[in-house]
Amino acid sequence: MIPGHEFSGVISKVGQNVDRFKEGDRVTADINMSCGHCFYCMRGEKLLCDSFTQLGIHTDGTFAEFVKAPAALVHLLPDNLSFEEGAFIEPVSCVVHAAKALDAKLGSSIVILGDGLGVLHARLAVLRACAPVIVFGHNRKRLQIAKDMGADYVFHTDDVADPVAKVMELTGGRGADYAIEAAGKVETYEQAFAMLRRGGTLSSFGITGEDEEMKIKPFDFVLGEKKITGSCAGVGQDWPDAMTLISSGRIDPKPLFSMKVPLEDLEWALHELRTDRQLFKIFVSPEITGREAM
């Protein structure tokens, strides 16, 4: 199986009975595929489909020179977007989907745990006029990017003895209106829940191990009337919305670009991403012959 699901490119062949596209069109594609007729699909809950699959995860993806995608899921790239910006539509769509589920109110406090896609969560919180926007992470470079994108407070976890206490300090002792877990760790899930004020909402975004469990006191759920939302991917209208945010300049992903490598350097790039915390996004291109810094 060929992985890879964040991509943009040029159409080389159009299937039969497809008149929306032509060869040479610059496109990206929604990676989420569903059956269209099960209980969940009929309710508009495509991500919960009984037969749900994702391009690049369950079927051959984009770490290849050519990839096949259903025409119904393909989107034309705006003329002002580069292919690299187009490849960021998928992660931005995921953040958009989570933001819609959370529905943070103007002027509300929000804390994000994680400095990967957490950087984009922070930017979207700024765009929704949340305040203060607080980010915790392990990477100073990424935290600085979050700060540059408008976050009010960024904290490296090595510099804060008690992240929960810090959030309480910054929110008048109440706790945050909203918290987004974007690190995918049981520890940070438990911290995020503890950071909420009474009546606050936790957005579950980071993916943990399938068998990992977090501890929550039912007492806090009931007496505190806290809530939890879940979000696993961007789908449907989230993709055009993500394209609009990037093409209009509301979200500029370029500070998150690290380098571009040829297809034959894919294995090296995957290794570097796992070992070099200074890297954020590496693009793989079959059209170049050497590594290019960005």
pLDDT, position 200: 97
pLDDT, position 165: 98
H/E stretch holding 53 reads strand 53-54
Task: Give the separation between CA 126 and CA 122, rounded to whole angstroms.
Answer: 6
Would the pLDDT of 225 be above 80?
A: yes
Contact indicator for 122, 112 with CB cutoff of 8 Å: yes
| Homologous superfamily in CATH for domain 1-87 | Medium-chain alcohol dehydrogenases, catalytic domain (3.90.180.10)
pLDDT, position 16: 79
Angle separating helix axes 89-102 and 118-127, nearest 10 degrees: 60
Would the pLDDT of 162 be above 70?
A: yes
Q: Where are the domains of the chain?
A: 1-87, 92-230, 254-294
Would the pLDDT of 3 be above 80?
A: no
Q: Which residue has the tokens 């002027």?
A: 107
Does the fold of domain 92-230 match that of domain 1-87? Answer: no
Q: Which residue has the tokens 């394209």?
A: 243
CB within 8 Å of 32: residues ≥ 6 apart: 46, 47, 52, 54, 55, 73, 233, 234, 235
Would the pLDDT of 2 be above 60?
A: yes
- 85-124 pLDDT, tens digit each: 999 999 999 999 999 999 999 999 999 999 999 999 999 9
Q: State the pTM of this model.
A: 0.93
Would the pLDDT of 8 be above 60?
A: yes
pLDDT, position 1: 56
Fold of 92-230: Rossmann fold (3.40.50)
Higher pLDDT, 184 or 3: 184
- 39-93 pLDDT, tens digit each: 999 999 999 999 999 998 888 888 888 888 899 999 999 999 999 999 999 999 9
Average pLDDT over residues 4-27: 87
Give the chain's mean pLDDT. 93
Rg (CA), the chain: 20
Reported as a pLDDT band with limits 50, 70 and 90, residue 17 is confident
